[in-house]
Amino acid sequence: MIRLVGLSKTFTSSQGTVEALKNINITIEDGDIFGIIGMSGAGKSTLIRCINMLERPTEGTVYIDDIDLSRLNRRELRKVRGKVAMVFQNFNLLMQKTALQNVCFPLDIANVKPEAAEAKARELLKLVGLEDKENAYPAQLSGGQQQRVAIARALATDPKVLLCDEPTSALDPNTTNSILDLIRDINEKLHITVIVITHQMSVVESICKNVAILDNGEVAEQGAVGEVFAQPKSRAARALVYPESSQESAISVEGQKLIRVVFNGAETAREPMIATMASKEGILANIAFASTRTINDRVYGSMLLGIEEKQVERAKKYLTGSRGITVQEVSEND
Amino acid sequence: MTEPTALQEAWEIVKTQFPLAIWETVYVTVLATLFAVIIGLPLGVLLVIGDKGGIKPLPGWLMKIINVIINLLRSVPFLIIIIVVFPLTRLIMGTAVGTAASIVPLTVAAFPFIARLVESSLREVDPNVIEMAQSAGADSWQIITKVMIPESVPSLVANITIALTTILGYTATSGAIGGGGLGKIAITYGYYRYKYLIMIFAVVLLIVLVQIIQTTGTHLASALDHRLKK
């Protein structure tokens, strides 16, 4: 179990101080795939670097299996880092070393005998599907293959936790999916807890079980992915879950108010909800935006409806009555 | 009919003196570079790791002193260095003059230059890769020996090639204190005795040597660079 307790990080420079992280409290259970999502500048990278103490937090601490990392000396910390491996956005491979030598690197650091290290590295290259590339240099590999080598390298020391810092941000969509599948496989087969930092909703949707939304150095919201994404409560969460919100001002019509309707699960999709509302209640809705997404094999949909101001309250009442639907009024500064 | 005699005379000198001179130039250059690398490489590493954002930051005042000393040594003309290090040369070599003795001032003049070259090579290493090594639990010594230096080998080779050619140029000046080699021949025959033909010949040979070193170094650097392999 990983616990971040009251974690704060303040950077001091000649230009003044920046509070990168403010009182972060997150608990991550063993075996979880935990997503930390936020816009750029939200403090994601700093947060993941605090988990293995590449950045020392200014306040608060990190517990991994009840070991307080902030109390460890440098030597003890280096040992812990063997158990908390990291995967990076730009792979960070040694460019002058072969794939095999790259995977051997953490073992070499840990003074494992070369023969034993190579045997282990070959096994891992096979796991990531690159057994035929052991003598290739990173420059000879594609981005996806390079990230596979980096993942194999991260697994070399049998870590308990895998920290992934934007692991797919430098990859194309197809490669992204294959790398995410690999990460999910590793989580399931090797029972490694995975923490993924990302700015891509799709990454969290496709592999994460739990998520924390980071906004301006603070956790805006956290919980199971399905719940957070179906009913985002904070402004930051809504901005991420409904990126179309930023276009709302452009499509809002004089005299109309926008409400957001989120439906949860497939059963609601069978009813002609908007048509029924028009024929039974006489409320005419202007559909400004609609989409569906699948999270953990469940369907979630959202719509932005433009409705006459006088009818808004009635519409909200009507829609809230249906099963699996939540309704929110969208305010100007949302 | 002075032309043929001058040519014959020059050829005679070339035949008798040049083989030794070439050998002297080469071994002085190579040894001076070697010693300068032995001192300059750790110093260059120190300049990078001791920096504010480095892996082992040293106190700012200490870094400032090291930097000032290096800049100072680099700005003193070579001829002055030769004279200033006379006592040191005598201490190490037993004498302050002669071909072997010229290795000492050459080393003193070259190591700050090498330190700067090593510094610039090591700074090319991607800081993200160093962070990767830290995240894998590497200590500072491992980061230097297993990441920073191996990753910058092609750049180090290219830079040491530059150092070799520069030091080769310095060996010509060390002729002033009795250091041997092609530079000395160019000065004694060309400048003191007006035998321009011999001077030209010596200079051409120096150019050829520089060409050979530079071409070999460049090829070696790119052959060693696995980033270029496709």
Domains and CATH numbers, chain B: 6-225 (1.10.3720.10)
For residue A292, the cross-strand partners are: A301
B157 touches B218 (CB < 8 A): no
E strand or H helix at A13, and its extent? strand A2-13
Local confidence band at A240 (pLDDT 50, 70, 90 cut-offs) = confident
Helix extents (H) in chain A: 44-51, 74-83, 99-109, 114-127, 143-155, 173-190, 201-207, 225-230, 235-241, 248-251, 273-276, 312-320
| Residue ranges, chain B, pLDDT below 70 | 1-4, 176, 230
| A-B Cβ pairs (cutoff 8 Å, strict) | 79
Query: Could you give the angle at which helices B196-224 and B2-49 cross, rounded to 10 degrees?
Result: 40
Q: By the 8 A CB rule, do B228 and B222 touch?
A: yes
With CB atoms and an 8 Å threshold, state whether B229 touches A137. Answer: yes
Residue A94 touches partner B, C-beta closer than 8 Å: yes
Quick one: which of A158, A153, A210, A206 has its CA closest to A179?
A206
A95 touches chain B (CB under 8 A): yes
Q: What are the CA-CA distances from residue A232 to residues A127, A268, A302, A328 (Å)? A: 37, 19, 12, 10
Residue with tokens 């890769």: B129
pLDDT-based confidence at A49, cuts 50/70/90? very high
Of the listed ranges A76-85, A294-303, B156-165, the one predicted with least confidence: A294-303
Under an 8 A CB cutoff, do B230 and A139 touch?
Answer: yes
**Rounded Cα gap, residues A281 and A263, in angstroms:** 20
Contact between A110 and B153 using a beta-carbon 8 Å cutoff? no
The closest CB to that of B135, out of A54, A96, A138, belongs to A54
In the predicted structure, residue A88 carries a pLDDT above the cut 80: yes
**Is residue A248 very low, low, confident or very high in pLDDT (cuts 50, 70, 90)?**
low
* Mean pLDDT, range A11-37, rounded to an integer: 92
Rounded mean pLDDT, A10-37: 92
Q: How far apart are CA A301 and CA A293, in angstroms?
A: 6
B45 has a chain A CB within 8 A of its CB: no
Residue B64 identity (one-letter amino acid): K
Closest chain B residue to A50, measured at CA: B135
Contact across the interface for B132 and A92, Cβ inside 8 Å: yes
Q: How far does A159 lie from chain B, in Å, by closest CA?
A: 10
Q: Going by DSSP bridges, is the β-strand pair A256-264/A325-329 parallel, antiparallel, or unpaired?
A: antiparallel
Contacts of B142 in chain A (CB under 8 A): 109
Question: Shortest Cα distance from A90 to chain B (angstroms)?
Answer: 8
The predicted structure's pLDDT at residue B3: 57
- Asked if B138 lies within 8 A of A109 by C-beta distance, the reply is yes
Query: Searching chain A, which residue's CA lies closest to the CA of residue B154?
Result: A96
Q: Per-residue confidence at A84, pLDDT binned at 50, 70, 90?
A: very high
Is the Cβ of B121 closer than 8 Å to some Cβ of chain A?
no
Q: Which residue of chain A comes nearest to B141, CA vs CA?
A: A109
Over 60: is that where the pLDDT of A332 sits?
A: no
CB contact under 8 A, A92 and B129: yes
If you average pLDDT over residues A33-48, what whole number do you get?
Answer: 91
The reported pLDDT for the residue numbered A331 is 66
Among B52, B135, B145, the residue to mutate for chain A (most A Cβ within 10 A): B135
- Which tokens sit at A25? 């409290």
Compare CB distances from A139 to B133, B136, B229 and report the shortest one's residue. Answer: B229
Contact with chain A for residue B20, Cβ under 8 A: no
With an 8 Å Cβ cutoff, is A78 touching chain B?
yes
**Tokens 């909703």 found at:** A201
**pLDDT over 90 for what percent of chain A?**
57
**CB pair distance less than 8 Å for A96 and B227:** yes
Tens of pLDDT, residues A163-187: 999 999 999 999 999 999 999 999 9
What's chain A's average pLDDT? Answer: 88
Residue A284, pLDDT score: 84
Q: Residue A334: its pLDDT value, please? A: 47
B135 to chain A, any CB pair closer than 8 A? The answer is yes
**Hey, what are A314's tokens?**
């009635």
Residues of B in contact with A163 (CB under 8 A): 135
Q: Is A3 helix (H, G, I), strand (E, B) or coil?
A: strand
- The answer to whether the pTM exceeds 0.90 is no
* pLDDT(A250) > 60: no
Tell me whether residues A79 and B229 touch, CB distance under 8 A: no
Q: What is the pLDDT of residue A252?
A: 61
- Inform me whether the C-beta atom of residue B137 falls under 8 Å from chain A C-beta atoms: yes
- What's the pLDDT at A320? 80
